[in-house]
Amino acid sequence: MAGCAELFEKLVWSTNVDHGAFQNLFLSNEQTADAIADDRVQGVALTGSPKAGRAVAAEAAAVLTKSTLELGGNDAFIVLKSADVDQAVKDGAVSRLRNAGQVCTSAKRFIVHEAVADEFIAKMTAVFESQVLGDPMADATTLAPLSSKAAQTTLQQQVDTAIANGAKVLVPGGAVTDQPGNGFKPVLLTNLLPDNPMYDTELFGPVGQIQVVRSTEEALSIANHSQYGLAGAVYAGTTAEAQEVAEKLETGQIFLNQPSNGYPELPFGGVKNSGYGREMSDLALYEFANQKNDCSRY
The phi, psi pair for 244, rounded to 5°, reads: -60, -40
Does residue 88 sit within a domain? Answer: yes
Domain of 19? 2-71
Is the same domain home to 25 and 173?
no
State which H helix or E strand residue 287 sits in. Answer: none
The pLDDT, as a whole number, for residue 253 is 96
What percent of the chain has a predicted confidence (pLDDT) above 70?
99
Give the CATH number of the domain where residue 251 resides: 3.40.309.10
Is the same domain home to 182 and 238?
yes
Q: Answer with the one of 50, 71, 92 that is the final residue of a domain.
A: 71
Does residue 213 sit within a domain? Answer: yes
Does residue 297 sit within a domain? Answer: no
Q: Answer with the one of 71, 103, 131 that is the final residue of a domain.
A: 71
The phi, psi pair for 159, rounded to 5°, reads: -65, -45
Q: Domain total for the chain?
A: 2
The pLDDT, as a whole number, for residue 295 is 76
Q: What is the pLDDT of residues 109-164, one digit of tens each?
A: 999 999 999 999 999 999 999 999 999 999 999 999 999 999 999 999 999 999 99
Amino acid, res. 212: V
Average pLDDT over the chain reads 95
Is the same domain home to 58 and 118?
no
Give me the helices (H) in the chain, please: 2-13, 29-37, 50-62, 85-97, 114-129, 149-164, 216-224, 239-246, 281-285
Is the same domain home to 175 and 191?
yes
Is the same domain home to 67 and 182?
no
Is the same domain home to 65 and 110?
no
User: What radius of gyration, in Å, describes the C-alpha atoms of the chain?
Assistant: 21
The pLDDT, as a whole number, for residue 2 is 79
The phi, psi pair for 49, rounded to 5°, reads: -85, 160
The phi, psi pair for 118, rounded to 5°, reads: -60, -45
Length of the chain measured in residues: 298
The pLDDT, as a whole number, for residue 297 is 64
Does residue 272 sit within a domain? Answer: no
Q: What is the pLDDT of residues 171-182, one digit of tens each?
A: 999 999 998 899
Amino acid, res. 151: A
Measured from the Cβ of residue 281, the count of other Cβ atoms closer than 10 Å reads 15
Q: Of residues 4, 30, 59, 104, which has the active-site annotation?
A: 104
Q: What is the pLDDT of residues 17-48, one digit of tens each?
A: 887 888 899 999 999 999 999 999 999 999 99
Is the same domain home to 85 and 128?
yes
Q: Of residues 70, 202, 241, 279, which has the active-site annotation?
A: 70
Cβ pair 114, 82 in contact under 8 A: no
pLDDT of residue 71 exceeding 90: yes
Q: Cα separation of 253 and 261, whole Å?
A: 9
Is the same domain home to 30 and 103?
no
Does residue 96 sit within a domain? Answer: yes
The pLDDT, as a whole number, for residue 298 is 59
Q: Answer with the one of 71, 101, 123 that is the final residue of a domain.
A: 71
Does residue 155 sit within a domain? Answer: yes
> Is 129 considered catalytic here?
no
Is the same domain home to 171 and 43?
no
Q: pTM (2 decimals)?
A: 0.93
Is the same domain home to 12 and 109?
no
Is the same domain home to 94 and 194?
yes
Shortest CA distance to 112 belongs to which of 236, 238, 200? 236
Does residue 122 come out as left (phi exceeding 0), alpha (psi in the -120 to 50 range) or beta?
Answer: alpha
Is the same domain home to 93 and 228?
yes
The pLDDT, as a whole number, for residue 290 is 87
Q: Residue 1: pLDDT band by 50, 70, 90 thresholds?
A: low
Q: Cα separation of 145 and 272, whole Å?
A: 30
Does residue 278 sit within a domain? Answer: no
Does residue 286 sit within a domain? Answer: no
The pLDDT, as a whole number, for residue 226 is 97
